[in-house]
Structure 1
């Protein structure tokens, strides 16, 4: 009941944030509407007051929220501040395009996932391996840029922009579906071997049941606990679609929302974000219904668990090599000035003077890449620290954390980034805040599990018996046993958080020019990728190496076996 109330409160808070965007932004909606309707009309006090009275903008934050909610109930999403047209038709048109793209992306994801899980289905052993882990870790916008250059520009197989027919859907669907399919395939490939080792499989085989029937039953056995993960992957498509639709100029809902956030067209942004949230909630409800249908009435309330991911076979030297390579490039670039402009050396090829070439303003790409690593990774470290603090705090409040975590998991970073950018304006601080708001649930879940294990230990009963106060037990025993492992977990999430920040920079919601942020570098270089491919692909390669480092670090940690928390003299060891 507490978790349900927390979910409802969190959802209400998100809806209130969306409804209060015009007030939170600090901009005068009446002035924006007046300029949209007539650029020549003087913004007199009488004209502005008339607009405020007409739209209920003079009623304060609570009146504004009530006016927006009442219109929402009537199906009225307001009027665009930029075009002056109704918001609902624009949202509906974008939603139709996004639904078609998501359907095609899910088909691609199922094909990719089936291909990665097929060896396990046939042999009963194996897994998705390094390839699946790498594909799942690469952001959609990197896959989109690679497909755009190779299949669209160099080979000319498919259109690179627009939305005119099935051919225009191929590259965007591949960009969204490949990472999602790799994740789904790896989940199934990791879960199937455990199911095939269960006792019932041996009995079925002894009774002469064929391999196909056994494999089908094992697949049905592992699907229910995986369905929520599939739902989260589908929700992730709504966030990835924003970047992919932007790369391929697809007029979908994600691109509509991003354009509204950039132009501060808050009514259109409210409608687009509301539609994206509703889509995510519907996917969650559908996944829960599908899980219940697969379980059947007898097992509908069973607490089936997700099998642990099998470790990827990665040599311990791989993280060291990737880390050294990134550190070397960063150090080399830090020795150069990233802001020197030389218009006579625009878009030059790599040379001794400029090892990675120059950008459209003649700035050294290596210098900007090196200095961008400092800002990108430094911001990611700060976000990791914030997430660690939130995760540790909420880890000791599992009932409250569960509901809030469900809301945070249902909000992709891009959507939160658009809401924050609309409230505070785009910038590195807003991007960091957006990622920090939704990056804590895995850490909170880890902390909650460890805290429950420590509290069940016998030595805590002994401490209570000798008169130790609850505060002393918490500070001296529980917190140290939990903080160490969760801190290591937070460090492992650093590359993934850096990729999330880069995605917001790529979309123009993060660091602003002339910052050398990696995502911003990728956005700036996309326009001249044909003329200067090395300079344009340098930030993309750096981000791909960062994704590979995340996979390698995770695999190396799992191969090292279980770790134990630091043990005090009076405390028993606690397994992590």
Structure 2
């Protein structure tokens, strides 16, 4: 009974419409976001799947006793069995362990790309939207140049100019992925730069840099989070495509795209070898799409 009362009191504290402290307001907003996600089955499935993929990738050494590079030519192209849960590839390497370790590479590339492009696009868009005039025109024309090329084609050009590898693939994807975030941040900034809230900041003597960094950029973060989550799937597919084309992670690295590239000739005979990494890419991309749709419903006021 005491536990129930405590739980009810905590819920009332989180859902209070007039929070007494900043901490209460922050945790109240987080709790409402969680309630919104929990009420959306697809978003909840996406969240659980993303967390599960991240967890099994991080815990790969604990979940398999095979090393992803260990070869067993006598047992090559083996069917899924108790010894090899997802079979083996053309060199006798355990596919299950390669999928787990490959998740580290693919998701690691995605996380690094997002860590680069989200702040960069947010900063460029907010500066362009708040400054206006010549600064806005220059930054947006540069953005339009990058948007004029298909992302994969432009990424291939950047990788070809450098050298194939994970670092080059990350840099290439980052250089091609930031323009949509800049356009979104600029649109959000232009909506709020003329509000009384921003005018009051100017009257207090705040510099343009402080207004952009402390007041405008935080207002753009919710929309940016939604866009980043929805873009995760396209970044995963781009990273896997570069690996498939030989421009990303190089063999024998257990990257999902590279695994499909080396196993594609077995599609009509030992079909499980190329199909399993393809399923991993599909499930992870779909999970991020489900999660992004749910976050958009919760965070975007126009969707309410």
**1:51-73 Cα distance to aligned partner (Å, 9 max, x none):** xxxxxxxxxxxxxxxxxxxxxxx
CA distance in 1, matches of 2:187, 2:155: 30
Partner in structure 2 of residue 384 of structure 1: 114
**What is the TM-score normalised by the length of structure 2?**
0.75
Partner in structure 2 of residue 433 of structure 1: 171
Partner in structure 1 of residue 132 of structure 2: none
| Alignment pair present for 1:472 and 2:210 | yes
Q: 2:270 aligns with which of 514, 532, 555?
A: 532
Q: 2:228 aligns with which of 486, 490, 493?
A: 490
Alignment coverage as a number of residue pairs: 254
Identify if the C-alpha distance between structure 1 residues 351 and 499 changes in structure 2 by more than 3 Å, giving closer, same or farther. Answer: same
Q: 2:295 aligns with which of 557, 560, 563?
A: 557
Does structure 2 conserve the Cα–Cα contact (< 8 Å) formed by 1:384 and 1:490?
A: yes
CA distance in 1, matches of 2:205, 2:49: 51
Comparing 417-426 with 351-360, greater Cα deviation is found at 417-426
Identify if the C-alpha distance between structure 1 residues 414 and 442 changes in structure 2 by more than 3 Å, giving closer, same or farther. Answer: closer
Q: 1:513 aligns with which of 231, 239, 251?
A: 251
Identify if the C-alpha distance between structure 1 residues 532 and 389 changes in structure 2 by more than 3 Å, giving closer, same or farther. Answer: same
| Alignment pair present for 1:444 and 2:182 | yes
CA distance in 1, matches of 2:55, 2:266: 26
Q: Secondary structure at the match of 2:182?
A: helix
Identify if the C-alpha distance between structure 1 residues 320 and 488 changes in structure 2 by more than 3 Å, giving closer, same or farther. Answer: closer
Does structure 2 conserve the Cα–Cα contact (< 8 Å) formed by 1:345 and 1:358?
A: yes
How far residue 488 of structure 1 moved from its aligned partner, in angstroms, is: 4.8
Identify if the C-alpha distance between structure 1 residues 560 and 429 changes in structure 2 by more than 3 Å, giving closer, same or farther. Answer: same
Q: 2:84 aligns with which of 354, 376, 380?
A: 354
Q: CA RMSD in A?
A: 2.6
Q: Secondary structure at the match of 1:402?
A: helix
How far residue 462 of structure 1 moved from its aligned partner, in angstroms, is: 2.0
Identify if the C-alpha distance between structure 1 residues 503 and 314 changes in structure 2 by more than 3 Å, giving closer, same or farther. Answer: farther
CA distance in 2, matches of 1:470, 1:386: 23
Identify if the C-alpha distance between structure 1 residues 415 and 463 changes in structure 2 by more than 3 Å, giving closer, same or farther. Answer: closer
**1:306-334 Cα distance to aligned partner (Å, 9 max, x none):** xxxxxxx9633331453355346546754
Q: How does 1:132-281 map to 2 (within 5 A)?
A: none
Partner in structure 2 of residue 369 of structure 1: 99
**1:3-55 Cα distance to aligned partner (Å, 9 max, x none):** xxxxxxxxxxxxxxxxxxxxxxxxxxxxxxxxxxxxxxxxxxxxxxxxxxxxx
How far residue 484 of structure 1 moved from its aligned partner, in angstroms, is: 5.1
CA distance in 2, matches of 1:462, 1:314: 42
Max Rg structure: 1
**1:510-558 Cα distance to aligned partner (Å, 9 max, x none):** 1101111110011111112233212220001111112311321232123
Q: Secondary structure at the match of 2:156?
A: helix
CA distance in 1, matches of 2:55, 2:80: 18
Q: How does 1:295-314 map to 2 (within 5 A)?
A: none
CA distance in 2, matches of 1:526, 1:501: 17
| Alignment pair present for 1:317 and 2:44 | yes
CA distance in 1, matches of 2:208, 2:158: 39
How far residue 429 of structure 1 moved from its aligned partner, in angstroms, is: 1.4
Identify if the C-alpha distance between structure 1 residues 488 and 317 changes in structure 2 by more than 3 Å, giving closer, same or farther. Answer: closer
**1:397-434 Cα distance to aligned partner (Å, 9 max, x none):** 24233322322222223322332233222111121122
Partner in structure 2 of residue 343 of structure 1: 73
Identify if the C-alpha distance between structure 1 residues 324 and 429 changes in structure 2 by more than 3 Å, giving closer, same or farther. Answer: closer
Partner in structure 2 of residue 454 of structure 1: 192
Structure 1 unaligned residues grouped into runs of 5+: 1-312, 565-574
CA distance in 2, matches of 1:491, 1:458: 31
Identify if the C-alpha distance between structure 1 residues 433 and 450 changes in structure 2 by more than 3 Å, giving closer, same or farther. Answer: same
Indicate the structure whose relative CO is greater, using CA pairs within 8 Å and at least 6 residues apart. 2
Partner in structure 2 of residue 76 of structure 1: none
Does structure 1 conserve the Cα–Cα contact (< 8 Å) formed by 2:45 and 2:290?
A: yes
CA distance in 2, matches of 1:440, 1:348: 43
Partner in structure 2 of residue 304 of structure 1: none
